[in-house]
Amino acid sequence: METIPFARPDVGAAEAAAVSDAILSGWVTTGRISAEFEQAFAERVGAAHAVAVNSATAGLHLALEAAGIGPGDEVLVPTWTFTASAEVVRYLGADPVLVDVDPDTLALDLSAAKSKVTDRTRGVIPVHFAGLPMDPRALAAFAAEHDLAVVEDAAHAFPASHSGQTVGAGTSAATVFSFYATKTMTTGEGGMVTTDDEDLARRVRVMRLHGIDRDVLDRYTRVGASWQYDVVAPGFKYNMTDVAAAMGLVQLGRAESMKQRRADIAARYDAAFADLPVRLPAAAGEGVEHAWHLYSMRLLDEAPVDRDTFVQLMQEQGVACSVHFIPLHLMTYWRERHDLSPEDFPVASDAITRVVSLPISSALTDDQVERVVAAVRSALKAT
């Protein structure tokens, strides 16, 4: 029996052809295709600027640096996230302050965040968990009340929207997307920073490639262009290649159909599991467009098995699952550095014992979806 992987990239001949063309073009690093991808992505989300980078982690680092976060500052980060959301704060000599999450959505709890604000707090990194966007109006009001820079971690949230506002547009300092292999669209590795702030975009562009003040394509290919350049800051090596961007352009063109497929799978799961002892993922309310990067449900007390046993039973039936996330306050570095305990984060500490993510890739076939359904019902002894 073939195992159904937890995540499978939805790529095919069109992506392969685009990558091949990029390789054979004579220019494989950051260049014209990357610029085209940036423009197309900015137009898709409704942002003034988009800057392609080699990972969302790089994008978060660059966005925070451009927003002025530095040594001694504090940045609010939900404990229910991947470690990259917090580690980038440390890159800058600042301190992430971990915050518990909303019991329904597992996204940052703004009321809990308010209690963590101090005179050192300079920013907040909301995470749109699983692809369900947080309310941008609530985020903007919270940031304005406390004079905070907002850098949205939208690694799960393309394409998604809330109240008519696409994630990636709006009033936040910046929004950062991931194109990692498991995400809703992929470039293999990669990410994108979007912003309406021209100065922030300019800083991100300079810092993504060693702090150099000129584009490498211009220096190397334009007839009559000068070889001279200047280093205006100690930057990083965070640029995206044209090879990756070529794949991204194809994936961007397919984004809506892939999103609809994931939404259809999520609806099938919701219907199939409605009578089981599980808490289904938070639903998108009116005016909310869910990206469905993850389908994460939680086992209830009355479930006949615990979460770890459930995952094992699924594996025995050839279905791979995952867990999103192990909250940061349970990780050795964050726990010891900030002297954290599970009692400080009751919602996340409870959720980690229950949550499990099922396969929801747009590459899944109908037969595979039905196999997942059957496996879940069997593992929970349901008929």
Give SS3 for 16.
Answer: helix
- Give the pTM: 0.97
Query: What own/partner pairs with CB < 8 Å and gap ≥ 24 does 37-41 have?
Result: 37/240, 37/245, 37/246, 37/248, 37/249, 37/252, 38/192, 40/249, 40/252, 41/192, 41/194, 41/248, 41/252
For the chain, domains (ranges, CATH) are: 13-252 (3.40.640.10), 255-379 (3.90.1150.10)
165-166 and 295-299 strand pairing: unpaired
Number of Cβ atoms within 10 Å of the Cβ of 263: 18
Largest CA distance in the chain: 73
Q: Could you say which of 116, 183, 237, 259 is catalytic?
A: 183
Both tokens of residue 168? Answer: 């990636």
Both tokens of residue 46? Answer: 């409704």
Output phi, psi for 192, to 5 deg. -145, 135
Give the residue ranges of the chain where pLDDT is below 70: 216-225, 383
Give me the residue label for tokens 């950062």: 176
Output phi, psi for 255, to 5 deg. -60, -40
Both tokens of residue 341? Answer: 């305990």
Classify burial at 268, counting beta carbons within 10 Å of its beta carbon; exposed 0-12, middle 13-18, buried 19 or more. middle
Q: Side by side, which strands form the sheet with 165-166? A: 165-166, 161-162, 288-289
Give SS3 for 311.
Answer: helix
Position 228 scores a pLDDT of 85
Q: Is 237 a catalytic residue?
A: no
Residue 35 and residue 87: Cα distance in Å, rounded?
28
Side-chain-side CA neighbours of 354 within 13 Å: the count stands at: 19
